[in-house]
Structure 1
Amino acid sequence: MLVVTRKENESIKIEPVEGVDPSLTLREVFAHGPIVLKLTHVGQRRVRIVVEAPSALKIMRNEAPAADCMGSEHVVPAEEPRRRRSGSEG
């Protein structure tokens, strides 16, 4: 699972983990469940998304270097909420 905050035009990348047999069928990849995206916060300029995926897939922030990739079993804590400035969200 990955918890990530995204702004407009930012993305999340989901791809097979290294070492997964490329001949696996979609049925085999999703045998233990689907990819689930859950919006946990919608602000004026960003959304917080929880991403859950089968262990054969890795989830990463698209702009993050490879070292920041997470297997789908890795948990990243939600970002701490920022205090709002009067009249706007960060």
Structure 2
Amino acid sequence: MSRSIETPDYAAFLKRIIRAYSKRIAEGDIEALADLASVVAELDHAIAQAVTQLRANYGYSWSDIARPLGITRQAAQQRWGGERP
């Protein structure tokens, strides 16, 4: 079962939310800046989990992972191929 049709719309929705949150902070909510910065850690974790699942459950290679990201397979393996706690 493929959900590729919904995925671009969902990604666009997330981007709009992040931009809107950034605007709210830029309007003077300096205390929320740390919350926005923590989104980076969440996204890094989500990407790592997605890569792990794509490789484990669907057999995607490092080249497959690297291609849509515009990076080399070596870069993908270095970033997400290490041991996870």
Same fold (TM over 0.5): no
Length-normalised TM-score, structure 1: 0.20
Considering fraction of residues, name the structure with more strand.
1
Considering fraction of residues, name the structure with more helix.
2
Larger Rg over CA atoms: 2
Length-normalised TM-score, structure 2: 0.20
